[in-house]
Every structure is written in structure tokens, then in C-alpha cells.
Amino acid sequence: MNTAHGKGGIKYGMVIDLDKCIGCGACVTACVAENNNTILQDESNKLKSITWLRLYKFDNGKPYPETEICYLPRPCMHCDHHTPCVSVCPATATDYNPEDGIVSQIYTRCIGCRYCVAACPYHARYFNWFDAVWPEGTEECLNPEVSPRMRGCAEKCTFCHHRLMAAKNKAYVEGRREIKEEEYQPACVEVCPTRAITFGNLNNPEHKVAHLKESPYAFRLLERLGTQPKVYYMTQREWVYRKSDNWLDSEWPRLGEGKKEAAKSGGSH
């Protein structure tokens, strides 16, 4: 079915510039607020708490004073090829939409088997181990466009799908079929103080993402697995790029080669 939507069409995606990203976490908080992620009193247990957009921090491991750190915001990659989570879900509770390339999640259909959680190599999937809770009184500011989830089902970043719906309705009312680039922008993109995240239709040459993803500094996470993420990253820092995938000692990839790698493994199944 990938082949069915393989020829162009709309494919929403992101380009995150890791050199512009200062790891402030605004995107994380914006996502939490926009998408009603539950909040535990102990969020330091990253394996049981829910953060659709996780901010990773890692360093180059070099001795003082050559040490450098990097922050990496990790939404759902909306994998485009044989979507790992989608292909394994027994209840079709998570699905790949050929019209926009967005990987959706149907909370009310999810049986909570967690096979998708196991299948996703990016740890982008979260399971509701606990009942939905928010600090007393803050339920008032839950977003009505996004339904809070019940205990026992899985969830993940949806590219703020409800915003796409809103934009579509607006366009429909105004008798348009096309949605303008600025009409559909996720919460994390909108808020970023350094504008490190760009979002749009990867197949539309008028959208910034379309040319950003062609930059020699653009790459994707675990590209060689062939999941074909629609979230791209950019950096001019060699060592950061090398953290984007697993390499054998024999391999010593340089920036820019990420693309060729992908070309190789992309078709490989």
C-alpha cells in the first residue's frame, strides 16, 4: 500500500535544525498543553510518563574542554514505509493515512496490547499506564479539540492532526481545496523561539520543508532501517550526525552521505 501513495501526493513532514535548537523545551511544553498529555507527579520516570515530543540531551563524550552537548526534540517520525507501529497493530487502532502521510491513533479502539510500542524504534509511542490526571484545577485548560485518553491505551504525536482538520474546514468553507502552508502548523513549530522546526508538505516545492530536506546537512534518525521517517534533522556538526544511526567501526559516515545510505536501504525490502 505504500506503493499506492508512493507517487507524490501530500506528505506532511518536519525539518528540525539541531544547530538552531537550543534545547529550551518550549516545543515540549507547547505539545503537552496542545495535546492534553497527562502529567505525573514524578515525571523523572521517563519510561512510564507520556511526552509526545521528547527532548533528548546527549554529548560528544570528548574530554574537557572539547565537550559539546546537543538537544534533540523527538516527535513521532510518521514513518512512511511499512510503518512499524501500523503494520503490527491487531486492532487497526493506529493507521497510516495515504492522503497526508500522517500516522493516526484511535484511542477508543486501542486494546492496549502494546505491540506497537515494541515495534517503534524511536520510542515515540506511549502507553497510558495510569489513569488520566492533571494538577488540581488545570483540567480547566485542557484542549477541547483533543480528547483526553483513558488508562490502558497507547498514544503518540499526531502532527497536531486536529489543526489539519480545522484548516481543512476553513478551506472548505471558503471553497478552497488547497491548504496554505501557514494555515496548518503544529503547536511545537509555532512556539519555537529560534524557529528551529519547519513543517509542511514535503512534496510541495513551495513549502520550505521541501528544499530544507534536500540540504546536504539533512538526515533522518535510523535511516538505514528503512522506516523512511517524515521528520528530518539538520546539523553542521559531524558528531551530532553520527549519533543519528548505528554505525559499524568500519563505517565512518560523513555529513551528506546520510542520503545515499537511505537510497540504498530504502528499497531494500
Partner 1 sequence: MSTLDAPLLPEGRKRCSFWAFGFWMSVWSLIIVWGLIGAYFVLRYGLNQTNMDDYFAFGVWIVVDLAVIALGAGAFFTGFLTYIIGKKELKDIINAAVIIGFICYSGAILMLSVDIGQPIRGWFGFWHANVHSMLTEVMFCITTYLSVLTIEFLPLIFENRKLDEVPFLHHFAHNLHEIMFIFAGVGTFLSFFHQGSLGGMYGVLYARPFAFRTGFLIWPWTFFLFVLSAAATGPCFTMLVVWITQKVSGKKLVPPNVFNLLGKISGSLLAIYMVLKIADTLYWALVTSPKMGLTFWEYYREGPYGFWMVIAELGIGGVLPAIILLIPKARQSEFWLISASILASFGVTMNRFVFVVVSLAIPVLPFEPFASYLPTWQEWAISAAILGYGGIIYSLAYRYLPVFPKEVQLYAEK
Partner 2 sequence: MNLDRRGFIKFLVGGAVGVVFSPVPWKLMDDVAIWTQNWPWVPNPPKGENSFRNTVSPFGYRGSGLSVRLVDEKRAITLKGAEGNPLNRGGLGPVDVSALQYHYHKSIRVKGPMLLKNGKHEAVSWDEAMNLLASKLKELRDQGAGEKVAMINGAQPGTMTDLMKRFMTAYGSPNYLSMPCAYDTEELIVRNMFGADGTLGYDLENADYVISFGCGLLEGWGSHRSLLAYKKWYEESDPYPTVIVQVDTNASTTSSHARRWVAVAPGTEGALALGLAHVIVKEELYNKSFVSSRTFGFDDGRDAQGRSFKGFRDVVLHDYTPEAVSHITGVPAMQIVDLAREFALAKKPLALAGKGKGNMPGMLGEFMAIHSLNALVGSVNRSGGLGPVPAPPLTAWPGVALDGAAERALNKERIDGAGTRYPLATSLLNRFSEVVAEEETSPVELLMVYRANPAYFAPSGKAFKEAMRKIPFVVSFSSYWDETTELAHLVLPEHSFMERWEDGTTPAGVPFPVYVLGNPVFAPMFDTKQTGDVILQTAKTLGGSVASSFKWDDYESLLKFRVRGIYEKQKGLIGEPGALEGGKGKGFAGPDKLWEELTAYGCWFDPEDAVGSGSTDKFRFYAAGLRTRLDQAGRHEEGQDSHGKNEPVYVAQFNEVHIPGDPEIYPLLLMPEDLAYVYEGEVPSAPYLTKVWPNTLLKGKYSVVQINPATAEDLHLREGDLVLMESDRGGAEVLVHLFHGVRPGVVAMAEGFGHTAFDGYIKDKGSNTRDLTVVNADPLSGLPQWWGTRVNLTKA
Ligand X SMILES: Nc1nc2c(c(=O)[nH]1)N[C@H]1C(S)=C(S)[C@@H](COP(=O)(O)OP(=O)(O)OC[C@H]3O[C@@H](n4cnc5c(=O)[nH]c(N)nc54)[C@H](O)[C@@H]3O)O[C@H]1N2
Residues forming contacts to partner 1 in the complex (CB under 8 A) are: 45, 47-48, 56, 58, 72, 82, 84, 86-93, 109-115, 117-123, 125-131, 150-154, 221-222, 224-227, 243-248, 251, 265, 269
- Considering beta carbons, is residue 48 or 176 the nearer one to partner 1? 48
Strand pairing partners for 126? 155
Site for partner 2 in 68-107 (CB under 8 A): 68-71, 107
Is 138 one of the binding residues for partner 2 (CB under 8 A)?
yes
In the list partner 2, partner 1, ligand SF4, none, the entry touching 148 (Cβ below 5 to 8 angstroms by class) is partner 2
Is 268 one of the binding residues for ligand X (CB under 6 A)?
yes
Q: Is the dihedral of CA 153, 26, 21, 181 positive or negative?
A: positive
Q: Is the dihedral of CA 22, 26, 29, 33 positive or negative?
A: negative
Is 22 one of the binding residues for ligand SF4 (CB under 6 A)?
yes
Beta carbons within 10 angstroms of residue 210's beta carbon: 18
In the list partner 1, ligand SF4, ligand X, none, the entry touching 53 (Cβ below 5 to 8 angstroms by class) is ligand SF4
- Measure CA of the first residue to CA of the last residue in the chain; give whole Å: 14
Site for ligand X in 211-230 (CB under 6 A): 225-226
The DSSP code sequence of 108-158 is: GG-----HHHHH-TT---EE--S----STTGGGG--TTSPPPPTT-EE---
